[in-house]
């Protein structure tokens, strides 16, 4: 998708499955399964969609997927479905070698968002890129709570600082002209939504604030969220701005809908136009 002199491309690191109840918290299965059919283990399909943003001499990758470093137990538990080096392979096939990526923006450091940051030998996959992470989240990920420690694998990110690849973001910040990081903390402290303003339209990569298109419904928040009431308030804020500005929202985990614009009608947010990047 081209907006002025900005180019947006979706790349996949495969998909996996998560428990449907965990993905929708208190929402009854009879409601969410209309949109996301579950398997015999109550798991639903979860996409691993990353976004490449190209502008001038910058090649900006948002999130790195789940990566290669998982054992058989992990693979079966989450029904991981991907080929070796999938994200890197897709980028390479499109003429984008990993060494050409100038910036990696990580929404947060859960294993399905940053697992492709390092390879099987603990070498950085994108060695020439600055890796942008909210400072608050970086500190949290290095010392998570018992509730969420399973969401973090420190081998996915802890070497960034040692290698000089880490760039910490402090709150709302325009890290690159036109690229703004906005922290949201309902899911995990210091997650960041990435907004890109092109002059020809706006794009927002929603991460786990709105991982699935069906979750534009304000009460449809995840059981994984550490502070679901805060998530709801943050969703209202970001969805209201997206509807007002006709922002194209990119859904990281939706297996069918890559992106969409939304509208606010009769007191509810609704999909307006589905978009393929």
Span 13-49, pLDDT tens digits:
999 999 999 999 999 999 999 999 999 999 999 999 9
- Confidence band (pLDDT; 50, 70, 90) for 121? confident
Cα separation, 51 vs 27, in Å, equals: 29
**How many domains is the chain partitioned into structurally?**
1
Cα separation, 231 vs 13, in Å, equals: 26
pLDDT of residue 244 exceeding 90: yes
**Pairing of the two strands 130-134 and 268-275:** unpaired
Residues 134-153 have pLDDT tens digits of 999 999 999 999 999 999 99
pLDDT of residue 2 exceeding 90: yes
pLDDT value of position 271: 98
Mapped to the 3 state alphabet, what secondary structure does 13-27 carry?
Answer: EEEEEEEHHHHHCCC
pLDDT value of position 274: 98
pLDDT value of position 228: 98
CA angle 53-59-65, nearest 5°?
70
Long-range (24+ apart) CB contacts under 8 A made by 191-197 are 191/107, 191/108, 191/134, 191/137, 192/105, 192/107, 192/108, 192/133, 192/134, 192/137, 193/107, 193/238, 194/51, 194/62, 194/105, 194/107, 195/247, 196/6, 196/8, 196/53
- DSSP letter assigned to residue 74: H
Residues 212-226 have pLDDT tens digits of 999 999 999 999 999
CB distance 49 to 40 below 8 Å: no
CATH of the domain at 6: 3.60.15.10
CB distance 171 to 159 below 8 Å: no
Torsions phi, psi for 229 (to 5 deg): -65, -35
Residues 228-240 have pLDDT tens digits of 999 999 999 999 9
**Pairing of the two strands 179-184 and 173-176:** antiparallel
3-state secondary structure of 137: helix
Stretch 112-116: mean pLDDT: 98
Question: How far are the Cα atoms of 67, 85, 134, 203 from residue 170, in angstroms, in the given order?
Answer: 27, 32, 6, 21
Q: 212: domain range?
A: 2-275
- DSSP letter assigned to residue 57: T
pLDDT value of position 120: 86
Cα separation, 38 vs 79, in Å, equals: 13
Continuous segment of H or E residues that includes residue 176: strand 173-176
Residues 53-95 have pLDDT tens digits of 999 999 999 999 999 999 999 999 999 999 989 999 999 999 9
CB distance 79 to 43 below 8 Å: yes
Continuous segment of H or E residues that includes residue 113: helix 111-114
Cα separation, 116 vs 267, in Å, equals: 39
pLDDT value of position 260: 98
CB within 8 Å of 72: residues ≥ 6 apart: none
pLDDT value of position 26: 96
Cα separation, 122 vs 142, in Å, equals: 17
Residues 167-211 have pLDDT tens digits of 999 999 999 999 999 999 999 999 999 999 999 999 999 999 999
């Amino acid at each position: 998708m081209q907006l002025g002199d900005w180019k947006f491309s979706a790349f996949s690191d495969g998909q996996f499955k998560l428990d449907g109840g965990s993905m929708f918290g208190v929402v009854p299965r009879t409601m969410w399964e209309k949109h996301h059919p579950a398997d015999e283990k109550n798991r639903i399909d979860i996409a691993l969609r990353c976004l490449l943003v190209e502008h001038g001499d910058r090649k900006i990758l948002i999130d790195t997927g789940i990566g290669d470093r998982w054992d058989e137990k992990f693979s079966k538990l989450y029904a991981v479905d991907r080929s070796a080096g999938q994200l890197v392979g897709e980028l390479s096939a499109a003429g984008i070698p990993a060494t050409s990526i100038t910036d990696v923006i990580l929404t947060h450091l859960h294993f399905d968002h940053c697992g492709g940051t390092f390879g099987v030998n603990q070498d950085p996959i994108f060695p020439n890129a600055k890796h942008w992470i909210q400072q608050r989240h970086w500190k949290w990920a290095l010392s998570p709570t018992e509730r969420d420690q399973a969401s973090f694998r420190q081998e996915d990110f802890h070497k960034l600082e040692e290698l000089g690849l880490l760039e910490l973001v402090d709150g709302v910040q325009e890290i690159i002209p036109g690229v703004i990081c906005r922290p949201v903390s309902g899911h995990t402290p210091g997650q960041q939504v990435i907004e890109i303003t092109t002059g020809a339209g706006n794009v927002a990569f929603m991460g786990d604030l709105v991982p699935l298109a069906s979750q534009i419904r304000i009460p449809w928040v995840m059981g994984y969220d550490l502070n679901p009431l805060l998530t709801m308030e943050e969703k209202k804020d970001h969805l209201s701005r997206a509807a007002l500005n006709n922002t194209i929202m990119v859904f990281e985990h939706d297996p069918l809908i890559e992106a969409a614009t939304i509208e606010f009608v009769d007191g509810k947010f609704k999909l307006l136009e589905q978009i393929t990047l």
